[in-house]
Amino acid sequence: MNLLPEPVTALVGALSRLPGIGPRSAERLALHIVQADSVFVGQLAAALIAARERVTACEVCGSLTESQPCPVCANPARDPAILCVVERALDVLSLEKSGTFKGRYHVLGGRLSPLNGVGPEDLRIGELETRAQAGAVQEVILALGSDVEGEATSHYLATRLAPRGIRVTRLAQGLPAGSGLEFADELTLARALEGRREIT
């Protein structure tokens, strides 16, 4: 016996396919939606469609945009000599929020993960090399995660880019801002010591 009305079951199924939404969250959301204001539900459905239809990946950097190229790539004030390489479009947002980077971006679309069958050809690495080869790029900042796969991806990219005479850098590792030593794990402390700087 199906305990929920069929449209609710269908909605639970669709919601469960979203990342981070388990079967119980999907059930709770679906039951909220059937009892929610129908104007709101209509707006939510329209927002889903509009976001999917109007937003695409920038043909140059791979970040999300409504126009081609994206506002960052189209902005002449952004330095074309510095490329910041990130895993996901969301990372561009995080870096833009920090407000300190004035160069341009390149979204890889993931990281190398041989165990999950993700090789260089599955990421936007060819596009990165093409951009690097075009001449304007002097520095590539690798802003990837500091876990094993992120590190491996950084090293792979460094071996591809450094021989072309491009300066390849990575984000500093160390204590998070505003955090005490007692919250840092040993590896973070080791990296923070390693990367220590003169107080000027």
Spell out the residues 6+ positions from residue 164 whose beta carbon is closer than 8 angstroms to its own: 132, 133
Nearer to its own copies, 77 or 181 (CB): 77
According to the binding rule CB under 8 A, does residue 11 interact with its own copies? Answer: yes
The Cα 10–Cα 17 span in angstroms is 11
Q: Which of 47, 81, 189, 190 binds its own copies (CB under 8 A)?
A: 47
Q: How far is residue 41 from each of residues 32, 104, 154, measured CA to CA in Å?
A: 10, 38, 43
Nearer to its own copies, 19 or 114 (CB): 19
The Cα 76–Cα 189 span in angstroms is 40
CB of 116 to its own copies, least distance (A): 18
Nearer to its own copies, 4 or 158 (CB): 4
In degrees to the nearest 10, what's the CA dihedral of 70, 73, 76, 77? Answer: 100
Amino acid at 127: E
Site track for its own copies across 82-111, x = CB under 8 A: ------xxx--x--xx--------------
Contact residues for its own copies (CB under 8 A)? 1, 3-8, 10-11, 13-15, 17-21, 25, 27-36, 38, 40-55, 57, 64-66, 88-90, 93, 96-97
